[in-house]
A and B are shown apart, each in its own frame.
Chain A
Amino acid sequence: MRALYTALFLTAAVVACKKTDNKESGKESGKPDPASGTSGTSGTSGTKQLTVGFAQVGAESAWRTAETGSIRAEAEKRKVNLKFSDAQGKQENQITAVRGFIAQGVDAIILAPVVETGWEPVLLEAKQAKIPVVLVDRGIKTSDETLYATLIASDFVAEGKMAAEWMAKKLNGKAAVVELQGTPGSAPAIDRKKGFEEGIKANPNMKIIASQSGDFRRSNGKEVMEALLKKHGKEITAVYAHNDDMALGAIQAIEESGAKPGTDVIVVSVDGVKDAFTAMVEGKLSASVECNPLLGPMAFDAVEKAVAGQTLPKRQVVEDKLFDTTNAKDVIATRQY
């Protein structure tokens, strides 16, 4: 019997600890309430404080952490009560979180879907509860477009095109390009390839002489580049990589072969992560098209409009910028990811 009491006491203690934890954070959340109660003085639209749930995939990459940071910062700026849930990379958890947001009666939900399929039942539930859902960074496959308010994401085709156009200008429309593709079948790999091909069409002297997958990884990028250098040697004048990591791997391979990346071989990639900027400052990487993770401002613009009952375009493109060796130095200090 004594054992039972000890155990019950211990569990009670755990629960009590949790209680005080939550109470403290509860107080924090309590703060904005009086402000919104006075109404009109706070909040962006001058109405009640918005509560928005954000179902994030996880924190698997620097890119995603930057995205989360952007949404959190924007919520704070607009005095939105943000409910954040990290699904630890699992769709099951993400669905539970979205259903939890619905049960809680949030004003809107921001969802970064981990995979493209499997969202219809839960989004139908949100629709029935009249809660608008804003998708960020990845789309979903569905036959019913009314299930979400809008999708805010980069246009991968445009990214590829931008890289091609920059390369055409740099090399005066004449190049023998080696393409390092991303994971076969993934949306960014398909679209970045398509965009690049469109971008070089106007220049008949620009040719893709080889195109192989490096799986978005640095080590694979290096291996593939080594093999291609052996096969094509000095013929190669430019490299187009679907992401920075593969480009950085390729740069290593080029250096080891005795050539100079940036002068002998022009390297262009997509993503704009910090390491890419470092390489650009060193002159090894020639250009990188940024795939912008800072979606916060656009996401909350969309949320506010959707809550106000406005219809939004189904697709909103995040503007991506191209950085090259001339302007990388100015930006590198502010890069967080």
Chain B
Amino acid sequence: MSRLSFAATAVVLVLLFGTASWLYPGFLSARVIANLFGDNAALGIAAIGMTFVILSGGIDLSVGAVLAFTSTLVALLVTRHAVPPLLAIALGLAIGAAFGAVMGAMIHRYELPPFLVTLAGMFFARGMAFVLSLESLGISHPFYRSAATFGIPLSAKATLNAPALIFLVLFAAASCLLHATRFGRDVYAVGGHEPSARLLGVAVGKTKIAVYALSGTCSALAGVVATLRMGSGNPAQGTGFELDAIACVVIGGTLLSGGVGSLAGTLNGVLIFGTIQIALVFDGRLNSWWARIVVGALLLLFIVFQKLLARAASRRA
């Protein structure tokens, strides 16, 4: 069943990209593909963390706010307090992980609904971002200047930039974690049916806390990637970002009820999202809000599709 929904997202992605390539000269190029990964790196990274959370049967609404907080924190530490960039980044990631772990612990220990705990987390992180700085902070540091130009050239004009590379490496690592380790199996088990997972000896609490810590780390990493992409930290960025990430995960075939889905599907979801956005830029005439409408339509389509699949599967059984 998950294989079928994965196939469906892949088909949609190929159709969308193919249509855009056919309509707009220059769309089918290494540069556009490299941009697709670079421009959507932050979204993709957050969506990877979100996939784990949703697979475990939870939700994380704090990702956009944690992204904004981390980017502002890193910018503030590097520019105002002369902290070495790598140290600032490490600190930002550690705070993201700890923040996620605390939310996970509260969700598990007090059996609180993830929606509300992470909603509170979202308000807290967003508020803290604005406490750090009310406006966007530019980072001028040699490390950031070289990071802006760093990349692996694919062709004369196309380079995979630092954000794209971080995204791809994280995707590979997360895929291994989810599909080839005990932890990955536990995540599926907890999201599939928590009582039976417990009976099978899965450490439900540990798994849940780890999943939220992972998502917090991913959101923080997305914030770091945002600073690399813009050379600045902005406390106002990433509003509504968590919903984009959830949309990508669901379009990618992961069930919101947990237990079913894949990271490859999420990658498809992110690329579909990015393709729609960039196709509208290439078109240059249509209102850019159409991107939202198309994503909304796809989202609805996919959940209907999944429902039909589930019904067909249960009838067969």
Chain A residues in the interface with B (C-beta under 8 A): 1-4, 6-8, 10-12, 14-15, 18-19, 21-23, 25-26, 28-29, 53, 81-88, 90-93, 95-97, 99-101, 103-105, 115-122, 124, 129, 141, 143, 185
Contacts and interface: CB of A to CB of B under 8 A. Distances in A.
A88 B289 contact: yes
Interface in B11-43: 11-12, 15-16, 19, 23-24, 26, 29, 31-32, 35, 38-39, 42
Please give me the 7 A-B residue pairs with the lowest Cβ-Cβ distance, nearest first.
A83-B284, A118-B232, A100-B281, A3-B308, A117-B138, A118-B230, A7-B305
Interface string B176-210: 00000000000000000000000000000000000
Given A29-B285, A118-B231, A120-B148, A15 B280 contact: no
Interface stretch (B50-58, B113-121, B165-173, B296-304): B296-304
B287 A15 contact: no
A96 B278 contact: yes
B152 interface: no
A19 B19 contact: yes
B215 interface: no
Contact of A117 (B232, B285, B308): B232
A41 to B, nearest CB: 23
A68 to B, nearest CB: 12
B4 A4 contact: yes
Contacts of B42: 92
B229 A14 contact: no
Contact of B282 (A28, A86, A92, A100): A100
Contact of A18 (B38, B228, B294): B294
B238 interface: yes
Contacts of A90: 237, 239
Interface residues of B, number: 60
Binding site of B, secondary structure by majority: helix, strand, loop or mixed?
helix
A8 to B, nearest CB: 7
22 contacts: A3-B312, A6-B308, A7-B305, A10-B305, A11-B8, A11-B12, A14-B294, A14-B298, A29-B285, A83-B285, A84-B284, A85-B288, A91-B237, A92-B42, A95-B230, A96-B277, A96-B278, A103-B26, A103-B32, A116-B138, A117-B137, A141-B138
Interface in B247-299: 277-278, 280-289, 294, 297-298
A19 B29 CA distance: 20
Given A14-B298, A25-B283, A83-B281, A91 B230 contact: yes
B39 A95 contact: yes
Given A84-B284, A103-B35, A124 B149 contact: yes
Given A25-B286, A53-B284, A119 B230 contact: yes
Contacts of A14: 294, 297-298, 301
Contact of B31 (A8, A10, A103, A115): A103
Given A3-B305, A8-B11, A115 B136 contact: yes
Interface string B133-157: 0111110100001001100000001
B8 A104 contact: no
Given A2-B312, A91-B234, A122-B230, 6 more contacts: A19-B23, A91-B136, A101-B281, A104-B24, A124-B149, A185-B135
